[in-house]
Amino acid sequence: MIDFDPSTFGLAHTYQKEDKDEINTLKMPSAPQVIYRTLNGPTQTNGGNKLNNFKHGTTTLGFVFKEGILLAVDSRASMGSFLSSEQVRKVIEINEYLLGTMAGGAADCQYWLAYLANHCRTYELKNGSKLSVAAASKFLQGILIGYKNSGLSMGCMIAGSDLSGQHLYYIDNDGMRLKGDIFSVGSGSTYAYGVLDNHYRYEMSLNEAVELGIRAIYHATHRDTASGGVVRVYHIHQNGWTKVHDGIDVVDLHYQFAQQKGLVGDGDEAKQRLF
C-alpha cells in the first residue's frame, strides 16, 4: 500500500533536504571513457616490441597536362617486409567524373573515399547538380581534420573534372590540402619525382603523358621494394575519366626498358651466351 498526504496530493512535490542529499550522491553506472587514439596506438608486448608497426608502401602519382590529368599507381600492399598483395586497386572510382588515389592505410583510404562517394551522390540527389572537385576535396579535408591525431594513415589525391575544368588535389591525414600540377605519394614517390621532374611538360600529348606515368611508376617499383605489382593508368578529361591501362606487369616493363637500352637481362640472351 502506498501512503500519501491528502493535503499535498496532485501538487508539485518538494524534496526534503535529506532527499536532496541522497539524490545528489547517487552514482549511476556508466561505461568508462576511452580515448579513440589510444585504441589505435601500437600494440606492444611486455618487452616493448611493437606488433603492429606496419609500414605502408606504395607509389601513386598524378599530374596535369594540356589534355587533362593523368593518374598512375602501382598495386602492391605491404606490411613491413611482408608483401600482402600484388593486386590492390589504388585508384578509387568515386563517381563518373571523380577519382581518388590511396596511399597509407588501405582500410582508412577505402572507407573514407567510399564515404566521400556517398556524400557526392547524396549532394547530387538533393541539389540536382554535381559537387565540384574543390568542394569534394574540402569535404574530405574536414573529415580528416576532425580525426587528426586519431591514428589514421592517409595520403590521397583527389582528381576530377567539373564545369571549371580539371583539378588535382592532395590531402593527408593531418588535414593538409594542396592544389597542384604534380604530386606523387608513397614510399616510392622520391624515385617517381625524379622521373617526373626530368621529363614533365605541360604541352605533352596523351600518349606522352601515359608513357611518362608508366615509366615513373616503373622506376619507383624498381628501387622501392614496397612498390610493385602492376601499373594502372587513368586519364581525366572534360567528359569524365577513362581507364587507359588496367594492369601492366612491372616485370614486363623491366625487360622492355632494358631492351631499349641494349642491356642483357632476359633468359634467352643468357642461354645464348652460356651455350
pLDDT of residue 159: 98
Q: Which residues contact 247 (CB under 8 A, 6 or more apart)?
A: 75, 230, 231, 232
pLDDT of residue 184: 96
For the chain, the structural domain boundaries read 60-260
Q: Are strands 91-95 and 98-101 parallel, antiparallel or unpaired?
A: antiparallel
Strands (E), the chain: 60-65, 68-73, 77-79, 82-85, 91-95, 98-101, 155-162, 165-172, 177-179, 182-185, 230-237, 240-249
pLDDT of residue 11: 54
Known catalytic membership, residue 58: yes
The DSSP code sequence of 232-243 is EEEEEETTEEEE
- For residues 74 and 64, the answer to whether their CB atoms sit within 8 Å is no
- Measured CA to CA in angstroms, residue 253 lies from 130, 154, 170, 231, 250 at distances of 38, 28, 28, 9, 5
- For residues 96 and 257, the answer to whether their CB atoms sit within 8 Å is no
Strands (E), 133-200: 155-162, 165-172, 177-179, 182-185
| One pLDDT digit (tens) per residue for the chain, 275 residues | 555 555 655 555 544 554 444 444 444 444 444 343 443 444 444 444 443 333 457 999 999 999 999 999 999 988 777 888 889 999 999 999 999 999 999 999 999 999 999 999 999 999 999 999 999 999 999 999 999 999 999 999 999 999 999 999 999 999 999 999 999 999 999 999 999 999 999 999 999 999 999 999 999 999 998 999 999 999 999 999 999 999 999 999 988 888 877 776 555 654 454 44
Which of 43, 58, 101, 122 does the annotation list as catalytic?
58
pLDDT of residue 95: 95
* CATH number for region 60-260: 3.60.20.10
- For residues 62 and 71, the answer to whether their CB atoms sit within 8 Å is yes
The pTM for the full model equals: 0.76
Provide the 10 A C-beta neighbour count for residue 198: 9
- Tell me which residue has cell 611493437: 50
Q: Region of 72 please: left (phi>0), alpha (psi -120 to 50) or beta.
A: beta
